[in-house]
Structure 1
Amino acid sequence: MSESVPVRCPACRRERLYAVPAWPCACGATVTPLVDGAAPPAVVAHRAWAEEWITLPCPRCARPAQWPHPELGCPCGTVLRLPVTGTAPADPGGAAPDTAPAPRPSPDSPGARRPPHPLVIRTALDAVTATVLYLGALGFRDVRRADQRPTVGIGLAAPGLLALVDPSVRPASLRDVECLWLTAMTESARCAHFSLAGYADDARTGADRLGVPLFVLDLTGTPRPVNPAADSFDSEGS
């Protein structure tokens, strides 16, 4: 069960509950950031790539990895970056139940696996977190920020996989899909594209030709397959 902490927006002074995310480590444990609910959150006025990621060790294997910095979007329009003091202790019972067997497809959407921690998408980093959780549910481990920063969106990498998360409000273009495919080809990896705004018609056609899985992230944090390659990716996993 995901922990929730109260967060007060310094702009409108309203208080909201923030559901703390949990991410899957390669060892099978869950990495949960410790959010300091007593410390004031920082208002995100300008985006800096380095500030959008935090390095946290796994509480079980102590392996460090980069994860999206927890953020909360307030209804007043302010984006808040929450202070993190460390990592929650490992589950003494063994592997966290949410990172054990991959969840079965939700009955209301065949072929779309619901992430182990449902996450309402309000910010770009929410979209990244939802994608990381989904890939973990498929069996991909050590999901991290990609070494090469893409020209559009946010790149993620796991052993044998490159993924692109596009949180923009414009449909992904054919060029976006082709660039992802070319980068994956040079690294002998599979690839998958995740978009909030969907895809242009030529992007779908090109993805079908190249065999690139396309997913649309709905606002509940569930990636929905939109082409046959994505259906196969969802059913086969890693």
Structure 2
Amino acid sequence: MVPTVPIRCPKCGREHVYAPPSYPCACGAPVAPAVGRDATPEPVTDRTWAESWITARCAACGHEGHWPHPELDCSCGAVLRVPVAGATRVPPGHPAHIPLPRTAPRPRPAFHPVTIRDARDAVTVAALYLRWLGYLNTRSTTRRPPSGSRIAARGMLAQVEPAPRPTAPRDIECLWLTALTEAGDTPVACAFFSLAGYTSEARTRADSLGVPLFTMDTTGTPQPVNGAAYELVATGA
């Protein structure tokens, strides 16, 4: 269990009991940034790539990975960036595993929609859509995310979120990090499918990471909602 620490908001003075989120390392061990008990958070005013990500070492295998910088939402409306011990910021720029843009269109037949009545149908539609894009041999992953379901194919990891709430930035980051840790010699792209759409912060984070976002409704035809998604539809696998 990740130890909790008291964090006081510098804007309103309210004290929170905070535990930083953990993410899976490539070795399978959970990695949680170390937050000191005397940590003084900073209000987030402008987001930059370098401030949003840190490099931290896995205690189990020693691997250094890129993780989201811990943040805390205070009830006063402030978003607080929590200082982390023993971590360094990630240099500006996109990680090398994200595929470079391609512009050549790839002809394919029209997608045949399937009516979505429940969460299982949503997963089926996402799997069919990935196959339509050229990602064959889709399958459900054995490691389930905190919410929704994940589908894997060669070179692709997708998450399907059927919950009635808009997808948040952390959901996007968790999917991106999982795709990063599963990438070996072959890059693994990722895509997100949501029935309730995305918060504006989630769309901003997805754009910065190059994660394609799709929405789905009962008609059963995924719709791209950001540039990465439109490019994926245009180029396919």
Scaled to the shorter chain, the TM-score interval is 0.5 to 0.7
Partner of 2:209: 210
- Give the C-alpha shift of residue 235 in structure 1: 1.0
Q: Shift in Å at residue 147 of structure 1? A: 2.7
TM-aligned CA deviation for residue 103 of structure 1: 2.0
TM normalised by structure 1 equals 0.52
Question: Aligned partners of 2:233, 2:163: CA distance in 1, in Å?
Answer: 23
1:136 to 122, 127, 131: 131
Match of 2:163 in 1: 168
Alignment partner of 1:157 is 2:163: no
Residue 125 (structure 1) shift: 0.6
Structure 1 counterpart SS, 2:215: strand
TM-superposed CA distance for 1:216, in Å, is: 0.2
* Aligned twin of 1:233: 232
> Alpha-carbon deviation of 1:220?
0.9
Question: 4+ residue runs of structure 1 moved beyond 4 angstroms?
Answer: none
Q: How much does 1:146 deviate?
A: 1.2
After superposition, the C-alpha distances for 1:142-163 in whole angstroms (9 at most, x for unaligned) are 1000132111110100011100
Identity of aligned residues (%): 54
- 2:198 is matched by which residue type in structure 1? Y
Q: Which AA in structure 1 matches 2:121?
A: D
**Offset of 1:137 from its aligned partner?**
0.9
Q: In the alignment, which residue of structure 2 is the partner of 1:7?
A: none
Q: Secondary structure at the match of 2:170?
A: helix
Q: CA RMSD in A?
A: 1.1
3-state DSSP class of the match of 2:128? helix
Q: How does 1:17-166 map to 2 (within 5 A)?
A: 102-104=108-110, 115-116=111-112, 118-166=113-161
Counterpart of 2:176 (choices 164, 175, 181) is 181
- For the residue of structure 2 that corresponds to 1:212, the secondary structure is coil
Report how far residue 237 of structure 1 moved.
0.9
Which residue number in structure 2 is paired with residue 196 of structure 1? 195
Query: Deviation per CA, 1:98-126, whole angstroms, max 9, x where unpaired?
Result: xxx7324xxxxxxxxxx33x211110011
Segments of 5+ residues of structure 2 without an aligned counterpart are 1-106
One-letter amino acid of the structure 1 residue matched with residue 172 of structure 2: V
Which deviations, in whole Å up to 9, do the C-alpha atoms of 1:20-59 show, x marking residues without a partner?
xxxxxxxxxxxxxxxxxxxxxxxxxxxxxxxxxxxxxxxx
Distance 2:189 2:142 in 1: 16
TM-score, reference length from structure 2 = 0.52
Give deviations 1:73-106, integer Å, cap 9, x for gaps. xxxxxxxxxxxxxxxxxxxxxxxxxxxx7324xx
Runs of at least 5 residues in structure 1 that lack an aligned partner in the other structure: 1-100, 105-114
